[in-house]
Chain A
Amino acid sequence: MINQAGSLQLGDSKYTFVATSDSVEEGEMIEVTVGKETLVVARVHGSVHAVDGICSHAYSELVDGELEDHCLYCPLHFACFDIRDGSVVEGPADEPLSVYSVIELDGFIWVKG
């Protein structure tokens, strides 16, 4: 069910509308806000992924980094995270990024939270 505040209720979970499908092109990412959290939403090989938008290591907006296949590189210390599960592929970060569940439906992208 979609309500007017741009949220979608699926069972116990609330999803927030973050972007239209065409605003997240293949291999690209955008920054969005869900509640108080800054997230990065990216499309890789067709699938949309959402992870923390701020590096887990030091303050830096990941949207300013680069996406190479599934690797998301931070522009400050060049840590690399796997956008699918938030795991650290290459330091200096030692904490993974949180991953948010995503639904893409009828040209709209929804993120849990």
Chain B
Amino acid sequence: MTTIDKPIMIIGAGIAGVHAAETLRNEGYEGRIVLVDRDTQLPYDRPPLSKEFMLGESSETDISLRSVESLTALRIELKLGVRIVSIDAEKQIAISSDGEIMEWGKLLLTTGSSLRKLQVNGSDLEGIHYLKTLSDAIAIRQKLDGIQQIVIVGAGFIGAELASSFKRLGKEVTVLEHAPLPLARILGDEMGDYFLQLHQSEGVHVITEDSVVQFDGTNQVEKALTKKGRVIPCQAVIVGIGVIPNTFLSDKGLHVDRGYIVNEFGETSLPNVYAAGDCAMWPFRGTNIHIEHWDHAVNHGKCVAKNMLGGDSNAYTTIPYFWSDQYDHRLQYFGHTKNWEATVLRGNMVDKQFTHFYLNASGVVEAALLVNQPKNALAVRRLIKQQQPVDPDLLSNPEVNLKKVHIQAKEDKVSN
């Protein structure tokens, strides 16, 4: 049997998996597409879980990713409740927890990521939650009515979004963060301080530089105890302390770091095995990075699917992007940087409408955070794509068009 006769199998019907399956068919692949997921829910969108769904503004139907009909129309064989426990690239098979052996010609791993677990005394008490799946979100929502005080462990994006949602639902919210400022590792101290103040101005109690060491309660959590001796009464706790890629489907010869390592075409180190989305580590501008965000999962899934059919025709170069909604703030972040050299502010933090740029040593914009400035989104994305040095004075001036902030542009102006 040749590779072509066997189905393309996709493990993980999340954001990347569903978009990849659709792309395979839309690109003209005629063979079988088998899409499996251990979850028993029809594919759904995750970002609303901490936002509209938690607020009760959108329903399960609203957040469904694709209907059964549309998947059927594309002849995508969706198998739910199937957990794959091992793969064998030589035999081209995958084995489920029920012992079913499934053959594939090409395999795409879109297994996503898991939430990092908090290992402290009392972690198994009732009322201690994580938020990754629709069932997690439903479980939290069902509890909310009888709850007044909530502790959120971790002031990352999901923690911040939940703080915002719970506050709007009238709850008393305490956020516990071990770093001195929220989000500072990604956005820098200045923005970290901005978001700290945002939480505080909304009436959320933020405790930084402290961490939970124990939960107390009989069956149900009643308080969180911290390293610095604080005792925080609560009836629910949500833990959001980061994610770990799901890379437990190892096979000899499959290279794994913080994610399955893939090249620019999405190929892993094994023949005919690809990976995309949260579970993959991929080369961006010469460095292997991992991105656990929605837009990347969509685009990586689509791009890798094309390469599975077209024999490495599409190098993946999409600028990483994510958004987050917190209180009356819409955040949009483009690019990727860890060691920026300088930052430039365009707009005004007091107005809650600004863009914060992160520049490297050559004056090239590597990343940008937009706060309530969707109008700049596409222009900023172009700017980051161009990789041309910019003039910080021009960049910081909201009157200057973002197309005209390059160093060259200023020199032209002077010589004119």
Contacts and interface: CB of A to CB of B under 8 A. Distances in A.
B323 to A, nearest CB: 6
Contact of A65 (B19, B70, B294, B378): B378
Most buried by B among A58, A60, A78: A58
B295 A75 contact: no
B298 A75 contact: no
Interface in B20-48: 47-48
A76 B378 contact: no
B374 A64 contact: yes
Interface in B45-66: 47-48, 52, 66
Q: Is the interface of A mostly helix, strand, loop or mixed?
A: loop
A66 to B, nearest CB: 5
Interface in A47-71: 58-61, 64-66
A91 B378 contact: no
B378 A78 contact: yes
B74 to A, nearest CB: 12
Contacts of B47: 58
B266 to A, nearest CB: 18
Contact of B377 (A59, A64, A92): A64
A60 B374 contact: yes
Main secondary structure of the interface of B (DSSP, over half): helix
B374 A73 contact: no
A92 B298 contact: yes
A78 B295 CA distance: 9
B378 A66 contact: yes
Contact of A75 (B19, B48, B52, B377): B377
A64 B323 contact: no
A78 B323 CA distance: 12
B378 A73 contact: yes
Contacts of A60: 374
B298 A61 contact: no
Contact of A76 (B52, B66, B323): B323
Contacts of A58: 47-48
Contact of B298 (A59, A66, A76, A91): A91
Contacts of A75: 332, 374-375, 377-378
Contacts of A59: 52
Contacts of A78: 295, 378
Contacts of A64: 374-375, 377
Nearest to A73: B378
A62 B52 CA distance: 19
A24 to B, nearest CB: 17
Nearest to B295: A77
Contacts of B70: 94
A23 to B, nearest CB: 18
Nearest to A60: B374
Nearest to B45: A58
A76 B19 CA distance: 18
A64 B377 CA distance: 9
A59 B55 CA distance: 14
Interface string B304-347: 00000000000000000001000000001000000000000000
A75 B298 CA distance: 16
B245 to A, nearest CB: 22
A61 B378 contact: no
Given A61-B374, A77-B298, A92-B19, 10 more contacts: A64-B375, A65-B378, A66-B378, A75-B374, A75-B378, A76-B377, A77-B295, A78-B378, A92-B298, A94-B66
Interface of A: 58-61, 64-66, 73, 75-78, 91-92, 94
Listed from nearest, the 5 A-B pairs whose CB atoms lie closest are: A64-B374, A75-B374, A75-B377, A64-B375, A66-B378
